[in-house]
A and B are shown apart, each in its own frame.
Chain A
Amino acid sequence: MELVCPAGTPSALRTVVDAGADAVYCGFRDETNARNFPGLNFTAQELVQGVAYAHDRGTKVLVAINTFARAGGTELWHRAVAQAVESGADAVILADLGLLGWASRAYPAQRLHLSVQAAASTPSAIRFYAERYGVKRVVLPRVLTVEEIAAIVSAIPCETEVFAFGGLCVMTEGRCLLSSYATGESPNMNGVCSPAAHVDYRQEGTALAARLGGFTIDRYPAGQPAAYPTLCKGTFKVDGKAAHIFEEPTSLNALAILPQLKAAGVSALKIEGRQRGKAYLAAVVRQFRTALDALDAGQAMPASALIALTEGGRETTGSYKKTWR
């Protein structure tokens, strides 16, 4: 299985290439990609340099242009695809139907991957993208069990990539408007979720309240570490009872089930986290590199040393096990 790793900056790209990534994915510094965070991402020139660095070391570069183009503004998304192609990127990762159609006509030789944001969850949906747009790989939404993934792999004409580690969307990706309901900005339109500009931490008595767009996402008693108020990981009240009604702050970690994912026929593993720093990325990439090398050599898998890098010190295999539902 190919190890696909995130890079939010040129130096993160060099870090994950050096740590053993088979491929690195990144995006441009604007709303064309789903990690449109301040201080993150690549200029066209940085991408050219990044591709050169990666290719010199035998690592591929995939460029995510995976938001949904703004009506009347599709030119920006076209230009992003053109710049990715010109940089020599090995694939572009798209989600928007219109952009897929445009890119497949404008650059028929360019390898296209289907972003997780397109939420193609069945063989027939994936075949549609493969046949109509020539998509060569689909990043599967985080809604499927390992058994379902195996069934999909055997029924489609393209490769599959699945998430292996990092932040965990509990809603189907590309189909969630929670962020814009609270803040006006969403992953689909703006490439952001629960954006920092709308976050407010306020000390109220002995507790710290974390709000997003004025909505209280969580409240922390003195001494308890406060998490970032990502909307779907918040504490809310249902019938007067407070709970993490969607999901606890937690990270996906599929390290322990890599053998099953390999047996299911998965082509590539994706590490989430273009917003992460170099130390985090180096540790995660090295751990997965070691695990994949052991798996390929038929040796025992190393134990996970990643718990310290998970959100809230908690990890889950998410939808890969049916009980998560």
Chain B
Amino acid sequence: MTIHIVEDDPGVGDSLALLLGEIGHQVEVYPDAESFFEHVPPGPQDTVIVDLGLPGVSGVQLIRWVARLSTPPRVIAITGQSRRAITELFGDDLPPVLLRKPLTEEALIALL
């Protein structure tokens, strides 16, 4: 099982990878959706943590893409945006599990 982190902020991506690595997970970090797509698609055992405010291909598009995989992984969206903006972003789609920044270890562990 691998945790894929798609996060454009290098500080957030690195610290998240470090903490999850400390907890004992195997972690991959991608700075954007494009580089995530270049890799082997995540398996059903994997978890994808995606920042919703990505440059280029958006986090929402990434989540839609992942959801269409035959065996989709678990998705956790992280965001600094407002609840209202998130509801707008997803429109008719149900938003995935959502963590708002700043993230805490407890909230993360509870979801993993």
Please determine whether chains A and B interact with each other in the same assembly: no
Residues of B within 8 A of A (CB): none
